[in-house]
Every structure is written in C-alpha cells, then in structure tokens.
C-alpha cells in the first residue's frame, strides 16, 4: 500500500490521538500539581493529537480549553463537500479510486474509524476508560467539540478554504504562521551557514532544505 492511499491517510487521521493516550495520566497529574501551586493554570491550549485529553482536562479542572488546530478537515461537518481526506488518484485504476473515494474520504468514515480506534475495548488506554479514571462519563470527542461549542483556532487566513456552513461560532481562523515578520531589512543566516550558502551559489550548486516537524 502507498502512503498516498486514501485509506492510509484516513487511518493516520483517525489514530492521530490514540498514540498519545498513554500520556494522559502524566498530563493530568502535572496539571493537578500546578493547580495546587500559587499560580494555577487558567486556560489550556491543546493541539490536534491531544483533543480528547485536552477536553477532558478542561472538564475535570473546570478551566477553559482551546484547540489550536492545523488540520481543519479533522473538525466534523455534515456538508458533503467537507471531506476528512482529499481523494487522490494514486493507482490510475478507476474502479479502485472510486471505491476509495466513496468509503475512505468522508467525515462519516472518519467518525467510524476514530470511534473504533479511540474506544477500542481491547486496549488498556481508550478514551472512555481514561475519562472514567477521573470520574467523567464516556464521551465522543468530536461530538463533545460540537455540543460544547468548544473554541477552536485554525492558524489559516479566512478564505483559504470554504468554511462548512454548520461549524459553530467558536471555530475561528486567524492567519498563517510565519517564522519571520519580514521587517527590519535584509536577513542573514550568519556564521558558517552564510559562507556555505554563498560558496554554493558561486559554484552554481542547488541547495535543499530538510526540516523536521511534528506536523
């Protein structure tokens, strides 16, 4: 299977939180210690991979919890055009591509796979069991987001994509994240990097940059 397969893309999105469930108790313990200190936490900001844990922590400690979401297609919507995964023609076989588009791109498909992954009764860490450890009732993360009209900040400029009409008012777009403002004149890499780049340019060589990120 190729990583470009809609099925694998959907599975990665559906399991984006599961791999972090075993950190939930550490996060909750740390928050509990902070709440006992002189400067208790007054607000939580969580990323995509900690949505369920972030909502649980906010509910348990009774503090606002805000999502900082760089993957807006993970947010639920009944709009048919708002797919969880974009259809990709990776095989050239029409029947297979049509099948993948029908079954592995929609929000309903993501709902099914996400619930199966996060509520799997055969795993020690599943979201309902974790919530139960803290005296909270079972909950579907995407349902809780909508029911509570939980605030979600998407760091993308408005108009970058067509906003689903049934999103709640708490979902807002801001702007793209830039590491530099562009102000203050010409920038310089400094040190040995500047010389390396200049020598490469003088030699007519092509430069490539490889970066690593959790996203």
Q: Is residue 128 part of a domain?
A: yes
For 87-130, the pLDDT digits (tens) are 887 777 778 778 888 888 999 999 999 999 999 999 999 999 99
* Nearest residue to 115 via CA among 141, 89, 79: 141
Q: Is residue 43 part of a domain?
A: yes
The range of the structural domain enclosing residue 143 comes to 6-188
For residue 48, pLDDT beyond 90: yes
Q: Are the beta carbons of 60 and 144 closer than 8 angstroms?
A: no
**Whole-number Å distance between alpha carbons of 86 and 9:** 9
Q: Beta 152-154 vs 65-68: how paired, if at all?
A: parallel
Quote the pLDDT of residue 1. Answer: 45
The token duo for 188 is 């310089």
Q: Is residue 193 part of a domain?
A: no
For 184-211, the pLDDT digits (tens) are 556 677 778 888 989 999 999 988 877 7
For residue 51, pLDDT beyond 80: yes
pTM over 0.85? The answer is: no
Q: Calculate Rg over the CA atoms of the chain.
A: 21
Q: Is residue 112 part of a domain?
A: yes
Q: Is residue 197 part of a domain?
A: no
For 133-176, the pLDDT digits (tens) are 999 999 999 999 999 999 999 999 999 999 999 999 999 999 88
The token duo for 171 is 């979902």
Number of domains present in the structure of the chain: 1
CA quadruple 116, 117, 120, 122: dihedral sign: positive
Q: Is residue 136 part of a domain?
A: yes
Quote the pLDDT of residue 188. Answer: 73
Quote the pLDDT of residue 184. Answer: 59
Q: Are the beta carbons of 6 and 106 closer than 8 angstroms?
A: no
**Whole-number Å distance between alpha carbons of 209 and 84:** 30
| Beta partners for residue 172, in sequence order | 153
- φ, ψ dihedrals at 172, nearest 5°: -130, 150
Q: Is residue 208 part of a domain?
A: no
Q: Is residue 87 part of a domain?
A: yes
């Amino acid at each position: 299977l190729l990583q470009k397969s809609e099925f694998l893309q959907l599975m990665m999105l559906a399991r984006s939180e599961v791999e972090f469930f075993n950190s939930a108790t550490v996060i909750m313990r740390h928050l509990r210690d902070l709440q006992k200190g002189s400067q208790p936490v007054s607000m939580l900001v969580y990323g995509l991979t900690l949505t369920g844990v972030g909502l649980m922590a906010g509910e348990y400690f009774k503090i606002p919890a805000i999502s900082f979401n760089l993957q807006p297609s993970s947010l639920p919507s009944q709009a048919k055009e708002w797919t969880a995964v974009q259809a990709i023609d990776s095989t050239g076989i029409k029947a297979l591509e049509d099948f993948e588009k029908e079954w592995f791109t929609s929000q309903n498909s993501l709902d099914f796979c996400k619930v199966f992954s996060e509520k799997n009764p055969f795993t020690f860490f599943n979201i309902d069991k974790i919530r139960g450890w803290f005296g909270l009732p079972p909950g579907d993360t995407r349902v809780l987001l909508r029911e509570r009209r939980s605030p979600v900040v998407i760091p993308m400029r408005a108009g970058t994509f067509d906003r689903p009409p049934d999103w709640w008012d708490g979902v807002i777009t801001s702007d793209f994240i830039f590491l530099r403002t562009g102000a203050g004149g010409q920038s310089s890499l400094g040190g040995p990097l500047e010389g390396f780049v200049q020598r490469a340019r003088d030699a007519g060589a092509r430069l490539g940059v490889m970066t690593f990120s959790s996203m």
